[in-house]
Copies of this chain bind each other. A is one copy, B any other.
Amino acid sequence: MPNAPLPHTPNIRDLVVISDGTGITAEKFAHSLLTQFDIRTKTHRLPFIDTVDKAHEAVQRINDLASRAEEQPLIFTTLVNQELGEIVKARARGFHIDLFNTFIEPLENELNLKSNHSSNKLYHNADSDRYRERIEAINYTLMHDDGQTNHNLMQADVILVGVSRCGKTPTSLYLAMQHGIKAANYPLIPDDFERNCLPSGLDGFHKKMFGLSIDPQRLSEIRNERRAGSKYAAIENCRYEVNEAEKLMRRHQVSWLSTTHKSIEEIATTILQELQLEDKF
């Protein structure tokens, strides 16, 4: 493990996330709490802290950081092993938030069970069937990106349609990666508008279809980043394509949403909700 000192930037509050697993969820959680405050933070994630030695090392790195900072670091921990948690709590200089133990005791009481204090790592267990399904969903989605093939559409959980560059690919990959959803996606192109038909091969899959649309101005900006000055990126063409695509979706009763101001998390959540699909995890 490389052990470079944690870098401190003046006037920026240090946020340290310590976990016996990856610490990814803890970091996101800490960020979403801290967006409630008008402060700037710098995140230092210390993952895989799962032995007494590593806990002491982490403490040393934090205290070294604390000694260089104007204000004490904010320390978020998710350490299942109580001994490690106590080492950090007793020795690391900072403001501690214990994401794990804060809730474990109330949950033990409610569930009338003792927690098994198994490592956080189990959550992302690479040897589980769930995990294999997730990797399979990623492979499926990559193979069915951008209308590459009509094979095995029966297996798709979702089929996204929309004009080129409206957000289909990142959304499909997110659905696969985070939710284990097999997502195919098809571009709506001028050929489809002229025929007034959805891409061929999609008949019979109406129930899994969902459309993405986008503000033509934003679409033109995105396309210009790729092919500056092209007809493809011109605002008139973007207006035409978006208008025709929305007409086509309306005509074929495909629900859609606008991706213009939505993150892939928000788009994916809305699709799962609208198609009444469940997370597979």
**Residues on A facing B (Cβ under 8 Å):** 1-2, 4, 13, 21-29, 31-39, 43, 45, 47-48, 74, 78, 80, 95, 97, 99-100, 102-104, 106-108, 110-111, 113, 115-118, 120-127, 131, 135, 138-139, 142, 169-170, 173-174, 177-178, 259-266, 268-270, 273-274, 276, 279, 281
Contact = CB atoms under 8 A, between A and B. Distances in A.
Contacts of A124: 263, 265-266
Contact of A116 (B38, B113, B174): B38
12 contacts: A2-B274, A13-B111, A24-B269, A34-B107, A35-B118, A38-B113, A39-B111, A97-B106, A125-B263, A126-B259, A138-B170, A142-B169
A39 B107 CA distance: 12
A279 to B, nearest CB: 7
Residue from A35, A39, A100, A121 with most neighbouring chain B CB atoms (10 Å): A35
Contact of A100 (B31, B33, B259, B262): B33
A266 to B, nearest CB: 6
A187 to B, nearest CB: 15
Nearest to A131: B263
A31 B130 CA distance: 14
A260 B106 CA distance: 36
A269 B123 contact: no
Contacts of A45: 269, 279
A50 to B, nearest CB: 12
A266 B169 contact: no
B32 A25 contact: yes
- Residue of A39, A122, A142 ringed by the most chain B CB atoms within 10 A: A142
B35 A122 contact: yes
Contacts of A268: 22
Contacts of A127: 261
A28 to B, nearest CB: 5
A273 B116 contact: no
A217 to B, nearest CB: 13
Contacts of A111: 13, 37, 39
B36 A25 contact: no
A259 B22 CA distance: 15
